[in-house]
Amino acid sequence: METSRGELAEVVQQLRSVGTDLRHIEAKAAVGGLPKSLWPTISAFSNHGGGVVLLGLDESDGFLPAEGFDAIAIRDAVADAFRPRRAADGAGPITPRPLGTIDVDEVGGSPVVVIDVAELPPSQKPSFVTAQGKEGGTYERVGDGDRRMSTYGVFLLSTDGAQPHEDSTMVDGASIDDLDPGQVSRFIARVRRTRPRSVADLSHDADILHRHNVLAADRSTPTLAGLLALGRYPQQFYPQAIITFAVYPGRTKADVIGDVRMLDRRIIEGSIPVMVDDAVLAILENLKTRRISRGAGAVDEPEVPVDALREAVTNALTHRDYSAWALGEQVRVEMFPDRIEVSNPGGIWGGRRVVDLYDGSSRSRNQVLAALLTEVPLPGRDESVSENAGSGIPRMTGVLGRAGLPAPKFLPTVTSMTVVLDRHGLLNPDSSDWLRSIGADSLEPDLQRALVLVHRGNAVDDQILRAALVMDSEDAKHVLRRLVDDGWLAFPPRIGETYRSGRRLIAGELNARSLFEGFPVEVNEVQAASPLDERILNAVRERGELGINELARYTQSTPGALRPRLRVLVAQGALIATAPAQSKHRRYRIGDSTAL
């Protein structure tokens, strides 16, 4: 059986190998009825990322089938919670109604109930346990457990679909005298040159500043955006609107080398243009440089490109949450021997996913601030702070790729966003050791680099891979298809999502981990599973064009199980559909790009 987290046999093997539940996989014995802990898990999965719940497996017994489990009764009880409700029915155990599928399959000859929970659309969040109410019953996934979400997190989920306006509010107690006159003059001069239509009918500076939302309607009080972008010292009004900068000697904050807990620590403050420059300078002072040949000469370049550093810091300051809930938090820039992390309060705004960040579109939580920073010059030069054109992350990915570094990794939670910039190339000694441990050291370099990206936690699809490895889009698709055909990766669980670890990669990593720990795992147990995608493609390769009923017969599946996988395979170009989705004559044949 195929789940959003892989074939059921693979999912169970992962649980047994690590000996605990995972971030997106949970197992419960459910003997004697539905456990109360089921609803917090479904709430957490519905709020972020989705996940799979397996009922009928006992974690305390090594995830073996639970004795006395009544699969049919449990399935029917879960289905009742997922069904649509009329007004007269009253609310179910989870509000709003969760989305997903419920099925019964077998593990080791015993039945289990498989609940595949989908993440809710932004407009329907938060998902909460009805009996506990929204404030006390909204959950998030932390590691392998469910935790009540903070009030701030519930607020963000509840307002994610609406455009925030905090950046356009007046700053109590501030006046036009709190703006930096030099920066204001440079800003107005730039606007007159780059956007003359916006100021053609205005002669007074205060009117220009009001039109560009630097000043509020009274033309004397700065807006939050205006103060942050052009203020003398915004921290007088917002003490935590700063950057804390720290350099750690080890790979975690807890590592202490001798008596040294931090190698460098600074508070970076001022307006956003000043903080961007100061933060980048602080990072560069703690980075190594390398000598690069350029024509007849050579230049020193930092191990992480300056453009990538500036973009990461600018994004954090521009797109952080400036609501009252978050004004007590600061942006953090933290350096470790292997990476740089830039974190800000507020997750991805507007219902976007990590994969959407690479598509070049522009969507701003703080629309006034983002627009303003496109015309605010950086200190000492005419270059503006940002472009606000959606080009920042693709450009960051590109300069990192040209420097031999992986794409930036984005780690969002409901209440925060962290971007990770690696300081070392993809095929460094540690990566080579890992590739050797899973048996992938003989693959071509581009295939190895793609696997290392996945291993490091990066979301990967053809567009991300194209930018990260600086290659043609068709070459990126070719690399991914090769890895899928060889079992290293698997097609995305749903249209628009990224590729997953394949059964060969799962088996290799489990085996490498088990050997390291002294407990070898039977890799064949994982490799024996034949994912539904593979069975579909093999059936079409062997028999030519097939309809969905023929595919159901040859793959030992059902049309209902096949349809979501067929949509993904068509979207990825692995299959070509011969007729519209509604046509009874629709058949499927192998896409040209699969003939590698």
Q: What pLDDT does residue 528 have?
A: 40
The answer to whether the beta carbons of residues 115 and 45 sit under 8 Å apart is no
* One domain, residues 416 and 435: no
CATH code, domain carrying 251: 3.30.565.60
Co-location of 417 and 437 in the same domain:
no
Whole-angstrom distance, CA of residue 89 vs CA of residue 97: 13
> How many structural domains are present in the chain?
3
Does some domain include residue 240?
no
Would 307 be classed as within a structural domain? yes
Q: What is the CATH number of the domain that holds 460?
A: 1.10.10.10
596 residues of the chain, pLDDT tens digit each: 888 888 898 899 889 988 899 999 999 999 989 999 999 999 999 998 899 999 999 999 999 999 999 999 999 999 998 998 887 888 899 999 999 999 999 999 999 999 999 999 888 999 999 999 999 999 999 888 999 999 999 999 998 878 899 999 999 999 999 999 999 999 999 999 999 999 999 989 999 999 999 999 999 999 999 999 999 999 999 999 999 999 999 988 888 887 788 999 999 999 999 999 999 999 999 998 876 655 666 677 899 999 999 999 999 999 999 999 999 999 999 999 999 999 999 988 877 777 777 776 667 899 999 999 999 999 988 899 998 766 788 888 888 888 888 889 899 888 999 999 999 888 888 889 999 999 999 999 999 999 998 888 888 888 888 877 778 888 989 999 999 999 999 998 888 788 988 888 888 887 766 544 444 444 443 444 457 888 999 999 999 999 999 999 999 888 888 888 899 999 888 999 999 988 989 999 998 654 43
Q: Residues 59, 84: contact at Cβ < 8 Å? A: no
Alpha-carbon gap, residue 38 to 51, rounded angstroms: 12
Q: Is residue 415 domain-shared with residue 434, that is, in the same domain?
A: no
Q: Are residue 416 and residue 473 in the same domain, yes or no?
A: no
CA distance 401 to 408: 10
Strand 500-501 to 110-118 pairing? unpaired
| Cβ-defined contacts of 211-216 (< 8 Å, 24+) | 212/372, 212/375, 213/168, 213/368, 213/371, 213/372, 214/179, 214/184, 214/187, 214/372, 215/176, 216/169, 216/170
For residues 416 and 510, membership in a common domain is answered with no
Residues 407, 451: one domain?
no
Return the exposure string of 433-469: e unless at least 16 CB atoms fall within 10 Å of the residue's CB, then b: ebbebbbbeebeebbbbbbbbbbbebbbbbbbbbbbb
Last-in-domain residue among 110, 141, 159: 159
Q: What is the pLDDT of residue 516?
A: 45
H or E segment to which residue 173 belongs: none
Helical H runs in 380-531?
392-402, 429-437, 445-455, 462-469, 473-485, 503-517, 523-527
pLDDT confidence of residue 389: 66
Residue with tokens 């503006």: 384
Residues 17 and 90 occupy one common structural domain: yes
In a domain, 215, yes or no: no
Secondary structure, 3-state, 341-397: EEEEECCCCCCCCHHHHHCCCCCCCCHHHHHHHCCCECCCCCCECCCCCCCHHHHHH
Q: Are residues 30 and 108 in the same domain?
A: yes
Q: Is residue 167 part of a domain?
A: no
Residues 23 and 147 reside in one and the same domain: yes
Residue numbers of the domain that contains 444 = 429-594
Examine the domain organization and report whether 44 and 146 are in the same domain: yes
For residue 338, the SS3 value is coil
Position 222 in a domain: no
Residue 155 lies in a domain: yes
Whether 374 is in a domain gets the answer no
Q: What's the token pair of residue 436? A: 């050797």
- Of the candidates 304, 172, 305, 316, which has an alpha carbon nearest to the alpha carbon of residue 241? 316
Residue 87: which CATH number?
3.30.950.30
Q: Sign of torsion, CA 398 401 407 408?
A: negative
Alpha helices by DSSP H, listed for 19-62, are 38-47
Q: 139 near 132, Cβ under 8 Å?
A: no
Residues 590 and 466 reside in one and the same domain: yes
CA distance 231 to 183: 8
Where does a domain end: 126, 142, 159? 159
Please check whether residue 571 lies inside any domain of the structure: yes
Same domain, 415 and 488: no
Domain stop point among 159, 183, 205: 159
Query: Whole-angstrom Cα distance, residue 506 to residue 14?
Result: 8
